[in-house]
Amino acid sequence: MAILRRIPLLCATLLAVCILATQVAQAERIKDVADVQGVHPNALIGYGLVVGLDQTGDTYNGSPFTINSIIAMLQRFGINVQKDLSQMKPQNVAAVMVTAELPPFARPGQQMDVTVSSMGNAKSLRGGTLLITPLVGGNGKVYAVAQGAVSLGGFAISGQNASQTKNHPTVGKIPNGASIERAAPDVLRKNQDHITLDLRQPDFNTAVHMQDAINAQLGPGTASAVDAGTVEVKNTMGNAVELLARVEPIDITTDHPAIVVIDERTGTIVMGQDVRIDTVAVAHGNLSVSISEKPQVSQPNPFGAGKTTTVNRTQLKVKEQKAKLIVLPHKVSLSDLVSALNAVGATPSDLIAVLQAIKAAGALHAELKII
């Protein structure tokens, strides 16, 4: 009930923010709306063992590959355990996958965080230590080596008749747990002819605004919009690093398509400021139907030949609220649309149905995304 009481206040706050947003031009830095083509992190992955667990690791029957990994590791140290294989119980060891992202321009000797995830039936990685694990890229080359104590944000404890788990105890982090051994691939050369900027949200207007802003700052003909998501900038300075340092802080006016995002699972509705609708009449009313079954016993006459039986009596109640009819004028703004829908008295679930109906009628000039 407390959440329901806060819904009107939340709607009013969101409405105020949307109204203010429509009054202020959206000026953003180029570095916040575009990426340099080729400059991106690279995914790394590795397979390793976490040791030192307190009887919360993999079991012999549930994760046989853990046994094979332990045997292979011990054999590299000259220890033969083939004879004692049947007695091996690896509850203190867990097989894990180690993942990380190699930052662009990373160099040997730098550190980065890694994520450790159990791939067997271990109950928890709490208190464990990851052994040396090579991390390879998509090309199969080793770029980093990970090792260290696993840090968890949760725990799992259990007894014979009760157990308790907090967060996710089979996934942990190792801050600065990997040492970079190979430099990231070079994607930017100082003397290259041009740089290419990729818009995170492709839009023709934004691309042209970016082109004009760069040309106004660095000179006509420096930038050229190739398509809705790409802008090429000539390296007139002869130094791509200095060029990017000059380009990224430039403010541009961005443009976005009109979108209404609907999450039916949570009843969340988010509308952009450019949402417009044509003249349309909206009526909203709730129809509730209640059906109840009341069994009754039918008793025959004392000297009759009938049998006692059970008869169902159905009671049907239909209640329909009076619908409120509201006419929304041609191409109203977002604030007018929200105010009108609130005046109809629609709940979040009803708002979703109303917006879908307006879109089906062809009166909603926005893309309707349902997630």
Q: Write down the domain spans for the chain.
A: 27-39+187-253, 42-180, 260-286+323-370
Per-residue pLDDT, averaged over 277-299, amounts to 60
Please report the pLDDT score of residue 218 as a whole number. Answer: 92
Contact 71, 81 (CB under 8 A): yes
Cα–Cα nearest to 178, from 107, 113, 104, 99: 113
Assessment of whether the complete model's pTM goes beyond 0.85:
no
Please report the pLDDT score of residue 14 as a whole number. Answer: 44
Sign of the four-CA dihedral 361, 365, 367, 368: negative
Please report the pLDDT score of residue 371 as a whole number. Answer: 80
Contact 49, 73 (CB under 8 A): yes
Cα separation, 346 vs 286, in Å, equals: 9
Cα separation, 214 vs 221, in Å, equals: 9
Sign of the four-CA dihedral 195, 201, 204, 207: negative
**pLDDT, tens digit, 9 for 90 and up, residues 345-363:** 667 777 777 777 778 877 7
Sign of the four-CA dihedral 210, 214, 216, 222: negative
Q: Using the structure block, give the residue that is written with the tokens 């340099």.
A: 36
- 111 has pLDDT over 50: yes
CATH architecture of the region 27-39+187-253: 2-Layer Sandwich (3.30)
Taking the mean position of all CA atoms in its chain, how far away is CA 9?
27
Mean pLDDT of the chain: 78
Contact 341, 324 (CB under 8 A): no
The stretches of the chain forming alpha helices (DSSP H) are: 2-23, 30-33, 64-76, 204-218, 240-247, 334-344, 348-360
Q: Report the relative pairing of strands 259-263 and 367-370 from DSSP bridges.
A: parallel
Cα separation, 348 vs 356, in Å, equals: 12
DSSP 299: P
- Type of residue found at 165: T
Kindly state the tokens that stand for 26. Answer: 């959206």
Cα separation, 145 vs 207, in Å, equals: 41
Cα–Cα nearest to 210, from 23, 27, 367, 30: 30
Higher pLDDT, 107 or 155: 107
**pLDDT, tens digit, 9 for 90 and up, residues 19-60:** 434 434 467 899 999 999 988 899 999 999 999 998 888 887
* Region of residue 326 (phi > 0: left; psi between -120 and 50: alpha; otherwise: beta): beta
- Type of residue found at 227: D
The stretches of 230-281 forming alpha helices (DSSP H) are: 240-247
Secondary structure class of 225 (helix, strand, coil)? strand
Angle at 59 between CA 53 and CA 65, to 5 degrees: 100
Residue 224 makes CB contacts below 8 A (sequence gap 6+) with 211, 231, 232
- Type of residue found at 242: E
**pLDDT, tens digit, 9 for 90 and up, residues 208-260:** 999 999 999 999 999 999 999 999 999 988 899 999 999 999 999 887 778 88
Contact 365, 278 (CB under 8 A): yes
Kindly state the tokens that stand for 147. Answer: 């090792």
Residue 266 makes CB contacts below 8 A (sequence gap 6+) with none
**Phi and psi dihedrals of 250, rounded to 5?**
-65, 130
pLDDT band at 302 (very low <50, low <70, confident <90, very high): low
pLDDT band at 333 (very low <50, low <70, confident <90, very high): low
Contact 349, 284 (CB under 8 A): no
- Type of residue found at 187: V
